[in-house]
């Protein structure tokens, strides 16, 4: 029997700082940035709302032109996989790092003009913009699903 496994990550969050692009020795672009995701829940004992934020390190390969659009506070959609790597620090201690290796990245609207984004991005900030897609997008479904205003309950 063949075994199956899945390594899939989908995040919608805000950039914690501006993205940074560096190049490997052979000239391959590696763009990195942190994404914050939050969750809220109501504490059963106190009745107060609580919030918890998780930080995710994201790596995007071979996209050297995207860093100027990935600015602190910007909301993004990231789809990719988890990868854990290790290295030795200057004291010889082994350090493990888990990152999200992005396959797809979409800029989400909202704060482009407020953050001083380039004019082109600020003008279209309300609509999602695909920045990187590793595969062609699937065909769009037909716009008419046979639903009329009479079918909507509100």
Buried b (16+ CB within 10 A) or exposed e, 100-130: bebbbbbbbeeebeebebeeebeeebeeeee
Lowest mean pLDDT, pick from 11-20, 55-64, 98-107, 124-133: 124-133
Q: Where are the domains of the chain?
A: 9-135
**Residues 84-129: tens digit of each pLDDT:** 999 999 999 999 999 999 999 999 975 444 444 444 443 333 344 5
> Which CATH number describes the domain made up of 9-135?
2.40.50.140
Which two structure tokens, joined as six digits, stand for 114?
């407020």
Which two structure tokens, joined as six digits, stand for 76?
């993004």
């Amino acid at each position: 029997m063949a075994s199956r496994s899945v390594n899939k990550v989908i995040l919608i969050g805000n950039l914690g700082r501006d993205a940074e692009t560096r190049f490997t020795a052979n000239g391959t672009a590696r763009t990195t940035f942190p994404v914050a995701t939050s969750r809220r829940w109501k504490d059963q004992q106190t009745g107060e709302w609580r919030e918890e934020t998780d930080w995710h390190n994201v790596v995007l390969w071979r996209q050297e032109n995207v860093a100027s659009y990935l600015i602190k506070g910007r909301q993004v959609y990231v789809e990719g996989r988890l990868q854990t790597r290790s290295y030795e620090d200057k004291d010889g201690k082994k350090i493990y790092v888990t990152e999200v290796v992005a396959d797809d990245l979409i800029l989400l609207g909202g704060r482009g003009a407020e953050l001083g984004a380039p004019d082109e991005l600020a003008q279209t900030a309300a609509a999602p913009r695909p920045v990187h897609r590793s595969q062609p997008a699937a065909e769009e479904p037909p716009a008419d699903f046979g639903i009329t205003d009479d079918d909507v309950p509100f």
